[in-house]
Amino acid sequence: MPRSTTRSPARPESAADGASGGPPSRLASLLYGVGLGGFVDGIVLHQLLQWHHMVSHVEDHPPTTVAGLEANTLADGLFHVLAWWCVVGGSVLTVRAWQQGRLAPTWSFHLGLVLAGWGLFNLVEGVVDHHVLGVHHVRDDIGAPLAWDLGFLALGALLLVAGWLLHRRGAQALVRRPGR
């Protein structure tokens, strides 16, 4: 019996014949970075070092009372749910890119965007939570937290710039790949 030459509708032509369906997903890697950066912040700063919680600088929710600790634990949990959804979103976009037959990223393309996403997380979370809303600081357990908050922003900027530079190197390597 002869084999059929028709393509499966679930698999695009380019994926079936090995041709590129487009560049890798940048958004997927950025979402991984935002989510993993959130997990590092929540696990290291909130849980292991216990320097702050999500709303530990809010007058009604001091972490020194049982009710305040309950409110902060709930806020930390909701924060971790948001970080988890970013990682799930990155995973969904990665699988969709595979299904579309898009190129696989180089390590520097992907890791650079993960670092840039982590830096973006630090910058947005630091500006919004530490400075605009004032719901917590990097170190709520000390008298002058501004230096820690500025250091957190500097780390975010460093991660963003270094990650973007690493990503650009990986993007250039994709262009030079044979068969492109």
Domain count within the chain: 1
Q: Which residue has the higher pLDDT, 9 or 33?
A: 33
Q: What residue has token string 């037959």? A: 101
Burial letters 149-162, b for 16+ CB under 10 A, else e: beebbebbeebbee
- The answer to whether position 142 is within a domain reads yes
Q: What pLDDT, on a 0 to 100 scale, did the predictor assign at position 164?
A: 98
Q: In whole numbers, what is the pLDDT of the chain averaged over residues?
A: 88
Q: Which residues contact 44 (CB under 8 A, 6 or more apart)?
A: none
- The answer to whether position 11 is within a domain reads no
Per-residue model confidence as pLDDT tens digits over 98-143: 999 998 999 999 999 999 999 999 999 999 999 999 999 999 878 7
- The answer to whether position 70 is within a domain reads yes
pTM > 0.95: yes or no: no
Range of the domain at 34: 24-175
Phi and psi torsions of 76, nearest 5°: -60, -40
Decide if pLDDT at 176 tops 90: no
Decide if pLDDT at 161 tops 60: yes
Q: Determine which of 2-16, 81-95, 101-115, 150-164 has the lowest per-residue pLDDT on average.
A: 2-16
Residue 7 confidence class, pLDDT cut points 50, 70, 90 = very low
Q: How many CB atoms lie within 10 A of CB 174?
A: 17
Continuous H helices in 18-63: 26-40
Q: What residue has token string 């949990």? A: 77
- The answer to whether position 18 is within a domain reads no
- The answer to whether position 154 is within a domain reads yes
Q: Which residue has the higher pLDDT, 7 or 97?
A: 97
Q: Which residues contact 12 (CB under 8 A, 6 or more apart)?
A: 21, 99, 100, 101
- The answer to whether position 13 is within a domain reads no
